[in-house]
Structure 1
Amino acid sequence: MLRSKLAEIDNKRAASQSLPKGSAPYTCSTFFKVQQPGGNPKARSWDHRFSKDSQQQQKSPLKAAARAAHSDMISLGTARPWPEYFPWKSLEMLCPGPKALGSTVSMRCVKREDEYDLDTVMNYGYAGGSPQVLRWVTEHKSPTLVLAHPWLWPALFSLHRTTGIST
């Protein structure tokens, strides 16, 4: 049974679009669900628990300004420059390998790399989480593999940032 579930995940990956690219790509766990939920109830809304002030919060005007790309302007609206202005072409890290082998493991990330671009590594990323990690967790929390929960909950990763709430 486990093999058939893993095969279903592999088939879903093969049939799906490639992961979104860029320094902070939009992604959602719904993109990676193996089975589309049918008939599951939605989770209860807890919006009434938010304060009036938090309910009136709007999206940040700085974030909106950062999306308006002007070629003659370096935007710091998201507290980071555009990746094109990063002065590095690659990043390499040497980590200790297994003690039995007595070696080091080299990890390298290059600008414009297909799998995990240096621009992505050097940036904060999307508030909902890295597409690579979000896909893996969504696939492995899906009703077909680990957990048959009765709600339509998406997965969300946020590293103690308020931006996770707005995703």
Structure 2
Amino acid sequence: MIACSPRLDWRTVRSPQERYTALFPGKPDKLERRIPYLDQEFLQTREAVKMDDDIYSISTIQLLVSQSASLNTLLSQLQANLIDRAKASGGESVVEDGFDKTAERQRLPIKDYFLALKKDGKSQQLMRVRWIHRVAPNGDSWIYQISILHTHAGSGNAKTFFTKEEYENFFSDFSPRIKL
């Protein structure tokens, strides 16, 4: 029934350049930017849609074979930046083991991060984020950051909040299109 909600216009989005298929609750906007990292620069592509108080987004970074030595450090830094931001605000982060499906329907272990960001001691924003890494047959690496930011949290538990079907669908229907 949630898929029939007039507020949410679920649609499959295929992003051939970024090599994924995802289910978005509306038509996403696409933004590209270059991000400097150490003595390199990476192209980050983000597709996102805002629905009421929620921002659904998928960011993609491609690392060429020649840049692959930076992969683990870059991925760790992306994760640490968000977790440190939550902790610095007085909020919290909870990590939960989960599974991601590949284009071949394999289930690979991943981690989901549930973050509460606070301001003046009160929850202001809740976020769920997942990072997925895939290596293409040509050796290029792809980092996907799938996230939902709820911008009007009041008080609440991020893990409980994001287990609702309308949020779970976004994560479970994301599929990288890179053959392992």
**Shorter chain as normaliser: what TM range?**
under 0.3
More strand by share: 2
Higher relative contact order (CA 8 A, sep 6+): 1
* Structure index of larger Rg: 1
- Compute the TM-score of the two structures, normalised by the length of structure 1: 0.22
More helix by share: 1
- Compute the TM-score of the two structures, normalised by the length of structure 2: 0.21
